[in-house]
Structure 1
Amino acid sequence: MVLTTDVPTREALVRRASELVPALRENAAGTEENRRLSDEVIETLADAGVFRMRVPVRYGGYECDARTLVDVAAELGRADGSTAWTASVYWIPTWMTCLFPEAVQDEVFSTPDVRICGTLSPGGTATPVDGGVVVSGRWGFISGAHHSHWQEIVAVLVGPDGPPTPVMALVPMAELRIIDDWHTSGLKGTGSVTTVAQEVFVPYERVVPLADVLEGRHASAVNADRPIYRAPLLPVASASSVGSVIGLARAAKEAFFARLPERKITYTGYESQREAPLTHLQVAEASMKIDEAEFHAHRLAALLDSKCADGSPWTLEERARARADMGAVCRLGKEAVDVFALASGGSSIYNDVPIQRIARDVQAVNLHALMHPNTNAELYGRVLCGLEPDTLYI
């Protein structure tokens, strides 16, 4: 299936996302309570073109650059962390699908507004059989699984002709079993459940070496020359993820200032919180941290977009810095939210006060294995010291 489409500008897509903020905020508490996005929210995001942002133009997609992803996710994150996170997670496996052969892309992208969930962690085994592999295993933290059409799974291929090799495979969700085990303290609305495969056959054309995906090596002749698809995976995943954190930090600032005019500081002489020098220091500190987080997010996006545009090779230091920028966004965003949350007082622990949900969501992001600030800072420092990275995920 080959389509043509008018590709909206970055400004148009950001405006669409911004227009969704009031409705998504209204639904945020319900999203958290239901532990997944509602069908209505999914439809709203689809109507805004959110699921087309990394789809090739020839299938009706937009092929958006990284800066657009950051800015759109930031608007969604202002409304609801779970919604922004789920949208961002869909973008990454969608991009990975574009490394598969054209026939596979034809099949996957034949579904309008297709949603692909996935993971980078090996969770199963793949056994060679005639025409493909048989996969069995389980994968956790699969955000957006309930509304997905496909999942990208990672398994270890074990056969008689070589050493065990990690591979990535595309599997229809109908062939996987969902275990509804998503009971968490943060990002509750992402529906990041566990999925299970029991002897699922996957044809060879839907299986590629994980190393090829990590390096951005194509089995797709058409996409190999499309700018957004010529990059290593981890810088792509990093840039796809950080906008949600920027949005959460901005949401915390907005939520704090919305309550500020009516608040005093109990057990002090301040009848208005905004008159207290402590408040002035807190809001200045947190706002500057948001500015710093935005710098790192936009520097990361600019690096990815520029290298995709000119096709220049990535240095090891650039790849490590991409992850370091992502970690810095997470750290600074959480620090900003924490300042606003601490300044919000005891009344902010009630469920109907948004700051408590925002704080739990940004904490959950910072605990993610690939986004953890300390892990990413250590990796960057290791490379700066002239050592080889101790991970394939760079």
Structure 2
Amino acid sequence: MTTAETEFADVLEAVRGVVPTLRENGRQAEQQRWIPEENLQLLDKAGVFRLATERRHGGLDASLAQQVEVLAEIARGCPSTGWVSAVWLASSWVARGHSPEAKEEIFATPSVRVSGVFSPVPTATLTPVDGGYLLNGTWKFNTGCRGADWNGMSATLTLPDGTAEEMATIVPISEFEFADDWHVSSVAATGSSTTTAKDVFVPTHRVQKLGVVMAGVESRSQPGRTDRDYSLGEFAVAQAVGVFLGIAQGALELFLERLPGRGIAYTAWSKQSEHPYTQIQVGTVAAKIAAARGLSAEVNDLVQRRADEGVELSVVEKGKVRGDSAYAMQLTREAVEILYNASGATGIQLSVPLQRFHRDIQGLSLHGLSLLSTNMEIYGRALLGLDADGAF
């Protein structure tokens, strides 16, 4: 193996080794509405937060497929920890679209954690001042902000001619205020609080056109930009599938662990595993997970090939990435639902991790970039030769 392959194998092995601890800490994570420090330290030591950093800055520059594989292992232990890791890695990749000067600051520590929100925020603004801008705004659903080093946020800059342009900023997380408003029934440990900036000064070199940091091949001409040419929308959706795969695989493992000795209440079946319907359910779940892995692998290969070739994904290919990724997520959600419904009344106890995996994958399925209907509409429009008519 090459040095890069060996380094990645070491990260993957280390992450697999801490899955039991991540799973054991799951209930504590949910109760405190943030990932336990032990989880973060274990993943940091494993090298997870170096995966999206360029090698020239001490990172591993892992491929999309490699990131998906690691995220699946993390989520197999703790869905919330997996989701936060995915957001930090995706946002770290976005940070690579900033100026060389900004990147020297951001990646001074290769194992960097970057959170961010790039959804439209009409109230977020940039005001020009000497040497930079003043950033003001409030951003909801800022996943991982409570443990991040940097925060990448979108904001609107009004140009002298009165037109508006969407910009991307990157700011130390310490410059933001956090609201204690993350009270949710799903992925509670992601700490996705609302963050606010009040007259935060951002130097010019840490402000970039939003289209540049989100773009694919058209960003290659940007000074200092040498990395893989992903487009953020397709990269983020394809990468997120890893979390869903991990949740489904973890749920299957948890179900099988509880099965020995369990009967079916109010029936003559003393061993649930001997009932044909249970056998059908487990087989169906395994097949759904395998099908989702197959879709994910095909998408990852397509995105990676186009990125490494420096060729922009076609409209239909972008639609395929969105559609196939969303369908893979749908399959994993269905798999977990089957397992939850087969777990009996005792499965609702908070001490049974499977119920948390079920709630978490339900919540993540509602994310705007995960939603099946949205992504299938985009895919269908692309196949029919119509404009995608959507963000990202």
Return the TM-score normalized by structure 2: 0.95
- 1:122 CA displacement: 2.9
1:31-89 Cα deviation digits (max 9, x unpaired): 11111112222111110000000001111100000111111111111100011111111
Change in 2 beyond 3 A, CA 1:265/1:355: same
What is the distance in 1 between the residues matched to 2:96 and 2:214? 13
Q: 1:223 aligns with which of 217, 221, 225?
A: 225
Letter in 1 for 2:186: G
Query: Any conservation in 1 of the 2:323–2:379 contact (CA below 8 Å)?
Result: yes
- 1:70, 1:298 within 8 Å by CA — same for their partners in 2? no
Among 62, 84, 87, the residue aligned to 1:86: 84
Look up the SS of the partner of 1:208 in the other structure.
strand
- Measure how far apart 1:240 and its partner are: 2.0
Whether contact under 8 Å (2:181, 2:193) holds in the other structure is: yes
**Counterpart in 2 of 1:257?**
256
Contact 1:249 1:333 in 2 (8 A): yes
What amino acid sits opposite 1:53 in the alignment? L
1:107 shift after superposition: 0.6
Deviations 1:155-204 (A, max 9, x none): 11123234111111001111110112111111111111110011112122
Q: Whole-Å Cα distance in 2 between the matches of residues 129 and 317 of structure 1? A: 43
Quote the offset at 1:343 in angstroms. 0.4
Match of 1:309 in 2: 308
1:102 maps to which of 91, 100, 103: 100
CA contact (8 A) 1:94 1:115 kept: yes
> Bigger shift: 61-70 or 238-247?
238-247
User: What corresponds to 1:285 in structure 2?
Assistant: 284
- Residues 37-48 of structure 1 correspond to what in structure 2 (within 5 A)? 37-48=35-46
Residue equivalent to 2:159: 159
Alignment of 1:104-119 (within 5 A): 104-119=102-117
Q: SS at the partner of 1:62?
A: coil
- Partners of 1:63 and 1:153 lie apart in 2 by 23
Q: Tell me how far 1:214 sits from its aligned partner.
A: 2.5
Change (3 A) 1:116 1:219: farther
Structure 2 vs 1, CA of residues 10 and 110 (structure 1 numbering), >3 Å: closer, same or farther? closer
Question: Which shifted more, 340-349 or 239-248?
Answer: 239-248
How do residues 186-265 of structure 1 correspond to structure 2 at under 5 angstroms?
Answer: 186-216=186-216, 217=219, 220-224=222-226, 226=227, 229-265=228-264
Q: Which runs of 5+ in 2 are unaligned?
A: none
Q: More deviation in 288-297 or 215-224? A: 215-224
Aligned counterparts of 1:365 and 1:8: Cα–Cα separation in 2: 32
| Contact 2:117 2:139 survives alignment (8 Å) | yes
C-alpha contact 2:94 2:214 (8 A) present in aligned 1 = no
Which residue is 1:146 aligned to? 146
CA contact (8 A) 2:59 2:110 kept: no
2:329–2:370 CA contact under 8 A, matched in 1: yes
Q: Which residue of 2 aligns with 1:67?
A: 65
Q: Distance in 1 between matches of 2:221 and 2:210?
A: 12
1:386 is displaced (CA, Å) by 0.8
Question: TM-score, normalized by length of structure 1?
Answer: 0.94
Identify which range, 359-368 or 213-222, moves more after superposition. Answer: 213-222
Instruction: Say which of 8, 23, 27 aligns to 1:29.
Output: 27
- Report matched runs for 1:341-380 at 5 Å: 341-380=340-379
Question: Which SS does the other structure have where 1:140 is aligned?
Answer: strand
Match of 1:384 in 2: 383
Give the C-alpha shift of residue 102 in structure 1: 0.8
CA positional deviation for 1:6: 6.7
User: Does the 8 Å CA contact 2:125/2:135 hold for their aligned counterparts?
Assistant: yes
For 2:208, what is the secondary structure of its paired residue? Answer: strand
* Kept in 1: contact 2:98–2:213 (CA 8 A): no
Q: Which amino acid aligns with 2:29?
A: T
- Residues paired across the two proteins, number: 386
Indicate the SS of the match to 2:223.
coil
What code does the residue aligned with 1:392 have?
A: A
In the TM superposition, what is the alpha-carbon distance from 1:120 to its structure 2 partner? 1.4
Contact 1:102–1:220 (Cα < 8 Å) also in 2: no
User: Which residue does the alignment assign to 1:331?
Assistant: 330
Q: Deviations over 1:189-222 (max 9, x none)?
A: 1111110011112122111111222323257533
Q: Alignment RMSD, CA only? A: 1.5
Identity %: 35
1:150 to partner: Cα distance: 0.7
Distance 1:239 1:49 in 2: 21
CA contact (8 A) 1:67 1:302 kept: yes
Matched to 2:113, the amino acid is: R
Shift of 1:112: 4.5
For the residue of structure 1 that corresponds to 2:260, the secondary structure is helix
Q: Distance in 1 between matches of 2:94 and 2:118?
A: 11
1:340 and 2:342 correspond: no
Higher mean alpha-carbon deviation, 5-14 vs 63-72, is at: 5-14
Counterparts of 1:113-128 in structure 2 under 5 Å? 113-123=111-121, 124-128=124-128
Contact 1:214/1:232, CA 8 A, preserved across alignment: yes
